[in-house]
Amino acid sequence: MLMAAAALTLLSFNACEEIAEAGCDFESESNIYTQRATAFAKNPTSAGCSSTKTAAIVLLNKLKNCDGGSDLINEGLTAWQNINCSDYDY
């Protein structure tokens, strides 16, 4: 589930180049998401999952506010919101 949500986030992000060109700035949110996702990939814990999940939701909400909420962005939000990070508890 986490990989699917991450893929939707990347697709949403890539589909939003037009948003950036229109003057919507999401660089900070994108950088935070990338840093947290990278850290989580190196050390998959429930805390890292929660951190990545929060960053993804913040990024996707920013993108949604920029373009009015495309279906792809909404699908990404739903996927991330449905992730249960306790799956990474050991």
- Summarize pLDDT for 62-85 with one digit per residue, the tens: 888 876 667 888 888 999 999 999
What pLDDT does 68 receive?
Answer: 64
How many whole angstroms separate alpha carbon 84 and alpha carbon 50? 9
Calculate what percentage of the chain has a pLDDT beyond 70.
Answer: 71
Q: What would the pLDDT profile of 26-38 be if each residue is shown by its tens digit?
A: 889 989 999 999 9
Q: How confident is the model at residue 41 (pLDDT cuts 50, 70, 90)?
A: very high
Per-residue confidence (pLDDT) for residue 82, from 0 to 100: 94
Distance CA(45)–CA(85), nearest Å, equals 8
Note whether 36 and 48 are within 8 A (CB).
yes
